[in-house]
Amino acid sequence: WATGPLTGTMASTGGRYTVITKSPLTGAIACSNSGGYWGAELKMAGWDMIIFEGKSPKPVYLYINDDDVELRDASHLWGQSVWKTEEVLKSSLQDPLVRVSSIGKAGENGVLYAAVVNDLHRAAGRSGVGTVMGSKNLKAIAVRGTKGVGNIRDPKAFMKTTFEKKKILAENAVTGQGLPAYGTQVLMNVINEIGALPTRNHRDVQFEGAKDISAEAMVTPRESDGKKHLVTNQACFGCTIACGRISKMDENHFTVKNKPQYWGANGGLEYEAAWALGAANGVNDLEALQYANLLCNEEGFDPISFGATVGAVMELYEMGVLTQEQLGIDAKFGSAQALAHFAEITARGEGFGKEIGMGSKRLTEKYGHPDLSMSVKGQEFPAYDGRAIQG
C-alpha cells in the first residue's frame, strides 16, 4: 500500500494511494489505484508505505494509530462485507474518524478480480489486489493519523503553486464543469457517438441503449417515481474536481424491492463500471446497473472484469455453449435479471458465480472458446474499443 509525494497535501487529487502486488489475473505486476480518504490518513499517521510479506495463520487486520502499529485478530470480521467491516471497526475502536481499507467476501473466496475497498465506495478495483489480500488472511487496514503532513520544504511556495493549478482545473471544461456536474459518466454518450463503446462483448462499437445509462439519465427524473437517480456529487480528500457520484435507487425496482439496506444514498456509477455492467452486456436498465455496482462495492470485486466476464457468459449462452440449467437463469444479452443474478452469486461465491469469479480468460478457455475473452494477459479491457481509441 503506497502513497505518493503529494498524498495528504492540499494538492488537488491528493487523497490517492496504490496497492501493488503480483496479479492473480495476469501473473504480471498489479498496480491498482484508489481515491477517497484512506491514503491521506495513512500519510497523516506518518507513513508513506506498508509492505506485507508472507501469510498470517489466522485472519488479522492491521491497526495504525500514528506511531502505534499492531496486527490484531480479525476472526470476527472474516465473512463480513466491506461495509460491515468498516462499521464494526469504527464501532469497536470507538473512533468514527478511522479510515478502513478492506476486502469483502470476494477477496476471501478467491474471486480473481477482487478489489480492495476504502471509504465504502472507493476502490483499488482492478487486477485482483483484493484476492492477494485475502490469500494472506489480511482482512483490513484501519488507520488514524493526527500528525498531518509536516515535511513540505517551502509551504508558501507549495500553496501558491497549488492555488495556481487548482485555477487551471476550475477553468477547464472537463475538470471544472463536466466532471463535477456529470462525473466520469459524462463519457458514456461521447464515447458511444464516436463509435468506441464496446457493446455485447465487443460485437458492436455502439450501444443503442447508451442514453438510458448515461450521466444525463442519472440526472433526469425517473418515470416510476419522479425522483432523480443522482443525489449529489462527492469529492475525495482535498480534490476540487468532485467527480464522485452519490445515488439513490428506485425502491420499487425488482432488484431491491424487499432489500431496504440498498434504499439509502450510496456510491453511484462511474463510467467504466456503467459500461461494463451495461453496454458490455447490452443492458440498459440504469437501476440494475446501480444494484450490481453496489454489490461490487459491498463485497469488493471489480465491476469492469465482472461485467466483461458476464458479457462473455452471455455470448456463450446465446451460442448454446452454456445452458439455462448451468447458469440458473435465461442469460441473453440485454437481460437485467441475469446481470443482477450473476452479481449476487458472484458476490456470495455460489454456483456458477464461482466460474464467473475466474474471469473471462479462464472461463472461456474452460468452455472451448478462448477467443471470446476480451482481455490482455487475462485482464479484461476497460471501456474503450481499441480500434477507435488506441492510447
Q: How many domains does the chain have?
A: 2
**Would you say residue 331 lies in a domain?**
yes
| 176 and 136 in a common domain | no
Q: Could you read off the pLDDT of 79-137 as tens digits, one per residue?
A: 999 999 999 999 999 999 999 999 999 999 999 999 999 999 999 999 999 999 999 99
| 229 and 127 in a common domain | no
89: CATH: 3.60.9.10
Rg of the chain on CA atoms, in Å: 21
Q: Could you read off the pLDDT of 161-196 as tens digits, one per residue?
A: 999 999 999 999 999 999 999 999 999 999 999 999
Cα 184 from Cα 181, distance rounded (Å): 9
Taking a C-beta distance cutoff of 8 angstroms, is the pair 45, 145 a contact?
A: yes
Q: Tell me which of 144, 160, 187 is where a domain ends.
A: 144
| 98 and 196 in a common domain | no
| 358 and 292 in a common domain | yes
| 132 and 250 in a common domain | no
| 281 and 244 in a common domain | yes
Q: Who's near 42: CB < 8 A, 6+ residues apart?
A: 1, 3, 7, 8, 17, 50, 64, 99, 143, 145
| 202 and 97 in a common domain | no
In this predicted structure, what is the pLDDT of residue 224?
87
244: CATH: 1.10.569.10
How do strand 266-267 and strand 2-3 relate by DSSP bridges?
A: unpaired
- Asked whether the predicted pLDDT for residue 304 surpasses 90, the reply is yes
| 352 and 290 in a common domain | yes
| 311 and 179 in a common domain | yes
Q: How many CB atoms lie within 10 A of CB 160?
A: 11
**Would you say residue 155 lies in a domain?**
no
| 306 and 268 in a common domain | yes
| 182 and 137 in a common domain | no
Structural domain boundaries, residue 25:
2-144
Which H or E run contains 336?
Answer: helix 336-348
